[in-house]
Chains A and B, each alone.
Chain A
Amino acid sequence: DQQVKQNSPSLSVQEGRISILNCDYTNSMFDYFLWYKKYPAEGPTFLISISSIKDKNEDGRFTVFLNKSAKHLSLHIVPSQPGDSAVYFCAAHMRFGAGTRLTVKP
């Protein structure tokens, strides 16, 4: 039972443009969501989180939006940089999505 879903396995954007990564969840009891970033041969590292009492959380170039009624969240990266190229995981309460591989082209 996959409770956290990332349906886009990959995304490619041009440097300087916006990257939008999407995530859906099925468990309405989830009330805290996190995004992690993973480089090859390393473990995931925490990027940004959001509580269900908010619909937006911003940290520098990274913003996470939460739509509780749609059970959907998204991560926006503006502007995207080549160093942002990595796999991004959405997570809630020890459940992780399959990740989206972001490639930012110079």
Chain B
Amino acid sequence: EADIYQTPRYLVIGTGKKITLECSQTMGHDKMYWYQQDPGMELHLIHYSYGVNSTEKGDLSSESTVSRIRTEHFPLTLESARPSHTSQYLCASSEDSYNEQFFGPGTRLTVL
């Protein structure tokens, strides 16, 4: 059974606030990913990690940052949120980069 969690599920905040989106998985996967998705659009890879202390930027330029201090935890931080950051953020993990990814339920972020 896949267990990957994201909190919060929904977040509405004002411009300029610092936020952290949490993602945790209990499957012991080394690979973790963050995607950004707008309605009707493809999932854009914004960050990924191949293991502890490893983080890389994805295809889509993002002002967010990530950290990977523990295998199970891959939080995403926005230092100063803007309305252009309004989107859905999906976290995923996998055994390796070719295997299926297991996704969390997503965080829908709205920045006013």
Q: Does B97 contact A (CB under 8 A)?
A: yes
Q: Could you say which of A12-20, A44-52, A60-68, A74-82 contacts chain B? A: A44-52
- B92/A43 in contact, CB under 8 A: yes
B-chain residues with CB within 8 Å of residue A93 when the two chains form the complex = 97-98
- B98/A89 in contact, CB under 8 A: no
Q: Does B35 contact A (CB under 8 A)?
A: yes
Bound-state Cα–Cα, A42 to B9, Å: 10
Bound-state Cα–Cα, A45 to B92, Å: 10
- B105/A42 in contact, CB under 8 A: yes
Q: Could you say which of B14-22, B39-47, B62-70, B71-79 contacts chain A? A: B39-47
**Number of A interface residues in the complex (CB < 8 A):** 24
Q: How far is the CB of A78 from chain B (nearest CB, A)?
A: 22
Number of cross-chain contacts by CB at 8 Å: 51
B-chain residues with CB within 8 Å of residue A98 when the two chains form the complex = 40-42
Q: Known contacts A43-B90, A43-B105, A43-B106: does B42 contact A94 (CB below 8 Å)?
A: no
Residue of A with least CB distance to B43? A96
**Number of B interface residues in the complex (CB < 8 A):** 23
Mostly helix, strand, loop or mixed at chain A's interface? loop
- B42/A97 in contact, CB under 8 A: yes
A-chain residues with CB within 8 Å of residue B35 when the two chains form the complex = 96
Bound-state Cα–Cα, A99 to B46, Å: 18
A-chain residues with CB within 8 Å of residue B45 when the two chains form the complex = 94-95
Q: Known contacts A95-B59, A96-B35: does B41 contact A46 (CB below 8 Å)?
A: no
**B41, B43, B97, B102: most-surrounded residue (chain A CB, <10 A):** B43
**Chain B residues near A (Cβ < 8 Å):** 4, 6, 33, 35, 40-43, 45, 48, 58-59, 90, 92, 97-98, 100-106
Top-4 shortest CB links A-B: A43-B103, A46-B100, A96-B43, A98-B42
**Chain A residues near B (Cβ < 8 Å):** 1-2, 4, 6, 9, 32, 34, 36, 41-46, 49, 89, 91, 93-99
- 6 CB contacts below 8 A, A to B, read A43-B103, A43-B106, A94-B97, A96-B43, A98-B41, A99-B40
